[in-house]
Amino acid sequence: MIRSMASQRSQPEVNTPQSSRFTDRIKRSLSSILTKFHAGYFRISLSLGGQALLWKTLIGPTHDKSTLRHLVHKFHPTAFLVLWSFALFILILLSLLYILRCLFYFKMVKAEFLHHVGVNYLFAPWISWLLLLQSAPFATPKTTSYYVLWWFFAVPVVALDVKIYGQWFTKGKKFLSTVANPTSQISVIGNLVGALAAASMGWKESAVCLFSLGMVHYLVLLVTLYQRFSGSDRIPAMLRPVFFLFFAAPSVASLAWESITGAFDIASKMLFFLSLFLFISLVCRPALFRRSMRRFNVAWWAYSFPLTILALASTEYAEEVKGSIAHLLMLLLLALSVLVSLGLTIFTLLNTRMLLPDNDPISTLHHLPTVSP
Amino acid sequence: MDHGENPVSIELQEYAEPVPQLLKLISSNEVAGFDSIMEGETPVFPNPTNSSQPNGHQRKISISISMPSSPTGATSADTKNVLFVQDNAKGFKNGVPESCVGSKAKPKGVKFLSQPMPKGSVFGEGANMNQNPNVKKFKDKRFDSFKTWSGKLERQLTNLRGRQQESESEDDSVRPSENEALPVDRYFDALEGPELETLRASEEIVLPDDKTWPFLLRYPISSFGICLGVSSQAIMWKTLATATSTNFLHISLTVNLILWWISVALVAIVASIYLTKVVLYFEAVRREYYHPIRVNFFFAPWISLLFLAIGVPPSVASSLPVALWYVLMTPFLCLELKIYGQWMSGGQRRLSKVANPSNHLSVVGNFVGALLGASMGLKEGPIFFFAVGLAHYTVLFVTLYQRLPTNETLPKELHPVFFLFVAAPSVASMAWANIQGSFDYGSRIAYFIALFLYFSLAVRINFFRGFKFSLAWWAYTFPMTGAAIATMRYSSAVTNVVTQTLSVILSVVATLTVTALLVTTILHAFVQRDLFPNDIAIAISDRKPKSHRRWFNLIRHGSSEHNADIDTFLKFANGDTKDIEAGLKISSAEAK
């Protein structure tokens, strides 16, 4: 198999000096990492980027006069800088790894692209970069470098859109009804995050364009996913945390619409409420996630980004509505998202070994068309 | 649903979880007075059967079957007479009826202390009472599996009165299989028809089908449809009286007042009867909950209460307290979290499989709640429910329009249930108008969609024939009434002759339909006496009948399946290598 070929390539010779044995060992571990690595690991950078955006919004200027917001406002800018730098560092690391993987193991990247779950995670790097761009502490939205970077990250998203969405209704084997699964919402989120970033730059038209692309496909996807033609067997049980994406998409849509129109109006409220409802609905069904919680794997990071985005939407909502219940909700969701992200970070740092398991759902799915761990 | 995938014998308590909410709220909202709405059921109350009372047996043999829910003593005196046919004469506690009336927090057990528990009711069939008591005992026991905790509740309650308790060892054979959740596939396999009411020829039921079952077992949740129909009429007459565009009709508010009080009474009656059923025949209620069509009717009580609040006459209450909205919407929220979650999690009850027009009942409640909240002046709550309702309505609407081949429950021909399509857009348009403050474009778009659907069904009225009447038809009248009310709102915003004429016409049509339905109901109740037929849908067995029985049925019915089976049988008998596969296919089909 591919892995064994990779190890053959780095077969050490018997009489080599110490240094080349060392480099060979590095090469071997690197190749084993690269083979097990896949785009799903960008969930980590997604979550961290989301957290960075959340904290940037919280410490930024606001009309909210409540005490809660005041308290949060006291979050030290340096702490935010540390968070953002950490997120940047992780994202750079992951991007480098993925670039190396593209260079050396292009076939595996191609297999990911052809897989109905893996292809959606190809949006994840670009979303992460867009989030980091938007939450950058030093970048001001209306500078040339910002524009250039936005273009750099948004064009691949649109290109992937054209490819994937076109396939949904034209290509025989990849009709939406056969490939639809909860991770398909990441493509929608990609469009919406692009719209969010564009609106913060002042580019209303591009923002509306991306927003409408995202929403139209979200509508189609929502109906298809709710219908669940093939039941829940399109994704393996270990990937159940991606169900949290159900409420991530409306939250991002609500934020994007707020950026576009300038105020948290009724459409944003409705999207926020929808996502809140879906969140409660999922939280009331812990049995759905039981099988995936048995062993730590990178899919657990799928819990964090949706929670962060929901918390962000709730802060915008609280700012608009100014009621005590809204602020209470904001506090709850903030606490939850911070706890979950922090917990996941610590857990990952403690268990780095488990981070690249042998039976990861996405990487092993390349070898077998349908597998249930 | 996850439950269906783990067919472990589960305690009833686990399934009692969704129910307690209902129980709590029904009992706190409803007047605890029972009444026997269906006077046609008095044959239920048997002729005093002092004659065939075998002595020295447990009270199970008692044939005194009144509806146990009439401690008010409002029913006829003969029931009281019958109740005394007991071993010990600790019969009717006269003190109990007074304490029942009007008290809200009365524990449920007290209600039934007054009556002996009708174990295995034997109704009105004098012949049976002369049979061998053992046979009777066996037959009575067959209803035990549907009783709460398989009759243990009744035994407990009778124990409280100090009666003798007999050993129930014979029950064990009947009980075990009934306590598991029936997977939804069983309902689809065993039942057919637009409301999944009729049993397929090859299926059998676990209760005797030659006798009339106890009244409570025959009382379906779809009876709440009457409440929906009548309370929506009350709202319609209120709007007719108060809307500016219909002022020329000079309708007085008295009609609304009368109808509203009738609806209140109906809701109280129906709810209390059903509450009794929940307490006594919990297993039957569970089975209704797992029925893919009946489950939607579990929303009907809450929608009726919402309608009552919307249609409250100004003379009774000019404005309702806001807390009432929260109280009404909380159980509704819990129920819809459960049902929509089932759709989303993709188990055996996923939408592509169970979608049917009755699902509109689950969705329309969101809009009704939004309408009520917005009319009370709330802002965020109504928007919440509107958003949730809109998203799920879109999903449902597309699914139903697609008429997926995987969907087995959609009737091929038209049936009154299709009128539910009109319900959601018309209520949504009114809710949006209330939220926004005026009948703006969003409301108009929704209203025109509702109107279109209404007309496309109305012109096909010829196809609505040949269906057996059922109480659920009342539920299908409220969309017509809703469309009439929406038209009145629209004509208040856009007042001209066309809209006013339209509102009058639609109101007249709605009233006529309701009257016709009322007449039919009364006919069925008193003349034909089959208003509550045996509720086959809840009595299906939990597995398919044995193949030999199917074979027997095939011989009896001689259907085309018969020929197909003969072919496969012959192929199997040849023993070719190719036919080994056919043989395997047969065995898998048999094993199914």
pLDDT tens by residue, A20-43: 888 888 888 888 888 888 888 899
What does the alpha-carbon distance between residue A245 and residue A279 come to, in Å, rounded to a whole number?
Answer: 9
Residues of B in contact with A274 (CB under 8 A): 387-388, 391
Closest by Cβ to B387, choosing from A219, A274, A281: A274
Q: Which residue in A216, A219, A227 has the most chain B C-beta atoms within 10 A of its own C-beta, making it the best mutation to test that interface?
A: A227
Q: Show pLDDT as tens, one digit a residue, over chain B (592 residues).
A: 444 444 444 444 444 444 554 444 444 444 544 444 444 444 444 444 444 444 444 444 444 444 544 444 444 444 444 444 444 444 344 444 333 343 344 444 344 444 444 444 444 344 444 445 544 444 456 666 667 666 666 666 666 665 444 444 433 334 444 456 777 777 777 777 767 777 777 777 777 777 777 788 888 888 898 999 999 999 999 999 888 888 888 888 888 999 999 999 999 999 999 999 888 888 888 888 888 888 889 999 999 999 999 999 988 888 889 999 999 999 999 999 988 888 877 677 777 778 888 889 989 999 999 999 999 989 899 999 999 999 999 988 888 887 666 566 566 666 778 888 899 999 999 999 999 999 998 899 999 999 988 988 888 777 666 677 778 788 788 999 999 999 999 999 888 899 999 999 999 999 999 999 988 888 888 887 777 877 777 777 777 766 555 555 555 555 454 555 555 555 554 444 444 444 444 444 444 4
What does the alpha-carbon distance between residue B338 and residue B3 come to, in Å, rounded to a whole number?
Answer: 13
pLDDT at res. B213: 77
Closest by Cβ to A227, choosing from B352, B384, B387: B352
Closest by Cβ to B350, choosing from A228, A276, A288: A228
Note the helical H segments in chain A. 2-9, 18-36, 42-59, 67-73, 77-104, 106-114, 124-135, 144-170, 176-179, 185-201, 204-227, 245-261, 266-283, 304-321, 324-350, 361-364
What does the alpha-carbon distance between residue A53 and residue A56 come to, in Å, rounded to a whole number?
Answer: 5
What does the alpha-carbon distance between residue B279 and residue B147 come to, in Å, rounded to a whole number?
Answer: 8
Residues 396 to 425 of B: which have CB under 8 A from any A CB? Answer: 398-399, 404, 406
Q: Which has the higher per-residue pLDDT, A62 or B42? A: A62
Closest by Cβ to A321, choosing from B337, B345, B380: B380
- CB distance B337–A226 less than 8 Å? no
**Closest-CA residue of chain A to B351:** A227
pLDDT at res. B97: 39
Average pLDDT over residues A234-254: 87
- CB distance A219–B355 less than 8 Å? no
The reply to whether B349 touches chain A by the CB within 8 Å rule is no
pLDDT at res. B413: 61
pLDDT tens by residue, A66-121: 777 777 777 778 888 899 999 999 999 999 989 988 888 888 888 888 888 888 89
The reply to whether B148 touches chain A by the CB within 8 Å rule is no
Nearest chain B Cα distance for residue A65, angstroms? 20
- CB distance A271–B337 less than 8 Å? no
Class of domain A37-356: mainly alpha
Percent of chain A having pLDDT more than 70? 86
What does the alpha-carbon distance between residue B240 and residue B574 come to, in Å, rounded to a whole number?
Answer: 75
Long-range pairs of A344-347 with CB within 8 A, sequence gap ≥ 24: A344/A47, A344/A300, A344/A301, A344/A303, A344/A304, A347/A296, A347/A300
The reply to whether B391 touches chain A by the CB within 8 Å rule is yes
Chains A–B, number of C-beta pairs less than 8 Å apart: 81
The reply to whether A231 touches chain B by the CB within 8 Å rule is yes
- ipTM of predicted complex: 0.77
- CB distance B399–A231 less than 8 Å? no
pLDDT at res. B582: 44
CATH of domain B204-540: 1.50.10.150
Tell me how far apart the terminal alpha carbons of chain B are, to the nearest angstrom. Answer: 20
**Closest-CA residue of chain B to A322:** B380
pLDDT at res. B90: 43
What does the alpha-carbon distance between residue B121 and residue B139 come to, in Å, rounded to a whole number?
Answer: 9
The reply to whether A226 touches chain B by the CB within 8 Å rule is yes
The reply to whether B3 touches chain A by the CB within 8 Å rule is no
Indicate whether A343 pLDDT > 70.
yes
pLDDT at res. B308: 94
Closest by Cβ to A274, choosing from B351, B352, B388: B388
Nearest chain B Cα distance for residue A214, angstroms? 16
Q: How many Cβ atoms are within 10 Å of B580's Cβ, its own excluded? A: 11
The reply to whether A286 touches chain B by the CB within 8 Å rule is no
Q: What does pTM read for this prediction?
A: 0.71
- CB distance B395–A222 less than 8 Å? yes
- CB distance B394–A223 less than 8 Å? yes
pLDDT at res. B549: 52
> Residue A50: which residues within 8 A CB-CB, separation 6 or more?
A131, A304, A305, A308, A309, A312
DSSP notation for A145-157: HHHHHHHHHHHHH
pLDDT at res. A6: 46
**Closest-CA residue of chain A to B349:** A231
Beta strands per DSSP E along B429-551: none
Tokens representing B225 are 């449809």
